[in-house]
């Protein structure tokens, strides 16, 4: 059947509440957010299962990863989000950011695990700038604290902690967990009467996000721990890492844009009713509508 025909044959009446182009955008956003596949893509680059790299990581790695990723996110949030001009709707410059992380990845690949504490804050800052760039291109104002928190949230997407089950790793499930964390921090601020209300909330959010971001950092470093990877491999892996978070940002801020237009409840209802299909098929459907 022709894709354009099957698009109109959806059985869910709720789909008709979104304009066809907006529904196509949401469909593709879901394909990005629910099928990130970072480990699979890294495996295709290194030519071997990523588990081999995991076996090479130091025994103390799991206890240190949380600290390293949290520090990297904290440094990145201070350096990245306040240096872009606030021009909502400006096109994102994805390629320049990919070049930046490729260079930092090359350095990390050359020096290996020892360079993580230096390389990760640099690459994370570049990635957060790229995420903010994507947010801005979707009409977000970078002067808004809500937008800045949404940029940090992107690093929690596509990663699954050991305590998660399938229901807890989906896009809206992760957003719910992070929203609860922000609400708890907000209540703490209200109770303590702190003056700088934004800071405690961002610190709490970063701590929560770091646990999921650490999953993907571990996958990246597992690949770079393989001796044959070297600087060139490190650059390639960092480019995949950047591409992954650019896609998560693209999906996340597409959803947020549609929420501003149609309301949070309706967009979530349509999102959850859409089939959970691979990104290639969703991209074909989206292209059909344009």
pLDDT digits (tens, 9 = 90+) for 178-194: 998 888 776 766 665 55
Q: Do the domain assignments include residue 77?
A: yes
Does any domain span residue 6?
Answer: no
256 in any annotated domain: yes
Residues 121, 71 contacting (CB under 8 angstroms): yes
User: Distance between CA atoms of 119 and 257, rounded to whole angstroms?
Assistant: 33
Range of the domain at 199: 19-288
Residue 26 in tokens: 């949401």
| Domain-located, residue 82 | yes
Section 16-26 average pLDDT: 94
Whole-structure pTM value: 0.80
Do 166 and 223 contact (CB within 8 A), yes or no?
Answer: no
Q: Is residue 2 situated within a structural domain?
A: no
Measured distance CA(143)–CA(82) in Å, rounded: 8
What distance in Å separates the CA atoms of residue 161 and residue 217, rounded to the nearest whole number? Answer: 12
- Asked if the structure places residue 1 within a domain, the reply is no
Highest mean pLDDT among 30-44, 53-67, 81-95: 30-44
Q: What percent of the chain has a predicted confidence (pLDDT) above 70?
A: 66
Q: Is residue 5 part of a domain?
A: no
Do residues 82 and 148 make contact, with C-beta atoms less than 8 angstroms apart? no
Burial of 254 (0-12, 13-18, 19+ CB in 10 A): buried
Reported confidence tier of residue 281, pLDDT bands at 50, 70, 90: low
Structurally, the chain folds into a number of domains equal to 1
């Amino acid at each position: 059947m022709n894709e354009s025909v099957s698009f109109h044959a959806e059985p869910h009446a709720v789909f008709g509440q979104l304009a066809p182009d907006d529904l196509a955008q949401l469909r593709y956003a879901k394909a990005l957010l629910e099928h990130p596949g970072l480990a699979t893509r890294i495996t295709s680059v290194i030519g071997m299962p990523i588990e081999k790299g995991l076996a090479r990581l130091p025994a103390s790695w799991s206890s240190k990863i949380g600290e390293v990723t949290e520090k990297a996110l904290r440094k990145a949030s201070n350096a990245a989000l306040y240096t872009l001009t606030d021009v909502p709707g400006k096109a994102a410059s994805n390629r320049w950011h990919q070049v930046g992380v490729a260079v930092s990845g090359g350095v990390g690949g050359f020096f290996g695990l020892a360079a993580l504490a230096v390389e990760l804050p640099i690459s994370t800052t570049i990635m957060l700038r790229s995420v903010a760039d994507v947010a801005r291109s979707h009409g977000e104002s970078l002067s808004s604290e809500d937008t800045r928190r949404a940029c940090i949230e992107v690093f929690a997407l596509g990663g699954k902690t050991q305590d998660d089950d399938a229901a807890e790793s989906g896009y809206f499930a992760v957003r719910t967990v992070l929203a609860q964390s922000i609400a708890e921090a907000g209540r703490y601020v209200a109770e303590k009467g702190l003056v700088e209300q934004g800071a405690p909330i961002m610190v709490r959010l970063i701590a929560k996000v770091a646990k999921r971001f650490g999953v993907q950092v571990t996958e990246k470093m597992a690949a770079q721990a393989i001796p044959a990877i070297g600087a060139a491999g490190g650059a390639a892996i960092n480019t995949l890492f950047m591409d992954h978070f650019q896609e998560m940002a693209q999906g996340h801020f597409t959803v947020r844009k549609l929420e501003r237009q149609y309301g949070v409840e309706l967009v979530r209802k349509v999102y959850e009713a859409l089939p959970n299909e691979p990104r290639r098929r969703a991209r074909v459907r989206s292209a059909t509508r344009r």
